[in-house]
Amino acid sequence: MENEAGEGARVRPERKSMTPLQKMGMGLVVVALDTLGGEGIGAWDLLPDFIGWAMVAWGIVSLGNPQRTQLLCLAALAAVVSLVFWFPSMQTQLRDAELALKWAASLPDLAFVIATAIAFKAAARAAGDRKFYARFGLTLWFAVIVAALPAIASAADSQAMLDYAELGFVLLWLWLIWNLFAAHARPWAADRD
């Protein structure tokens, strides 16, 4: 039974659009699927990384961070590199290439992670958010180590270190995605006005 004021009526919560960090996180999920072992039909990737990077760019465009332009440029660079390697013939060439070329192909992704960690660490610090200042600081250090590890492993001729670098790359994606979703509602991560 309801009275005329509508008491007792079910009230639907207001639906809000995705926050910039949620958009970025969803895009990085698409990018990370290949890293986590996702396969397409035949040699074609059915969910290409450049689609994920487009989603990341969608999030960055709506972000109110002063380093938005830098992040957008790095996401665009990563998208272009992923588009080049989307074609099966290029995937085969990269798979058969020397370690140095494989490492170079991953650098745009790692540069984006490093720039994102720096931008969000600075934003969290400015807002006095110690928790995410620490988390994105850890992300930054982890990304630098993951970026350097293949070169060190190659110099040391250590397959074990290369395996750790590959595992580190997967864990880095998961950690960044987790933190983007965890921080999405923070005031410093809000839409630009």
∠119-125-126 over CA atoms, to 5°?
Answer: 90
- What is the Cα–Cα distance from 141 to 185, expressed in whole angstroms? 24
More confident residue, 28 or 16: 28
184 pLDDT tier (thresholds 50, 70, 90): very high
Average pLDDT over residues 53-82: 96
- Give the model's pLDDT for residue 57: 97
**122-127 contacts, C-beta under 8 A, 24 or more apart:** 122/67, 123/65, 123/188, 123/189, 124/183, 124/186, 124/188, 126/188, 127/186, 127/187, 127/188
Average pLDDT over residues 154-180: 93
Average pLDDT over residues 98-102: 85
Cβ(107)–Cβ(77) below 8 Å: no
Check whether 38 has a pLDDT greater than 60: no
Q: Which amino acid, 101?
A: L
Average pLDDT over residues 32-47: 66
More confident residue, 177 or 1: 177
124 pLDDT tier (thresholds 50, 70, 90): very high
Share of the chain above pLDDT 90, in %: 64
Per-domain boundaries in the chain: 20-184
∠127-128-133 over CA atoms, to 5°?
Answer: 95
- What is the Cα–Cα distance from 6 to 183, expressed in whole angstroms? 36
Q: How many residues does the chain have?
A: 193
- Give the model's pLDDT for residue 45: 73
- Give the model's pLDDT for residue 5: 53
What does residue 180 show for φ and ψ, rounded to 5 degrees? -65, -45
55 pLDDT tier (thresholds 50, 70, 90): very high
- What is the Cα–Cα distance from 6 to 18, expressed in whole angstroms? 30
Average pLDDT over residues 108-132: 97
Check whether 76 has a pLDDT greater than 60: yes
17 pLDDT tier (thresholds 50, 70, 90): confident
Contacts of 95 (CB under 8 A, 6+ apart): none
Residue with tokens 């990077």, as numbered in its chain: 53
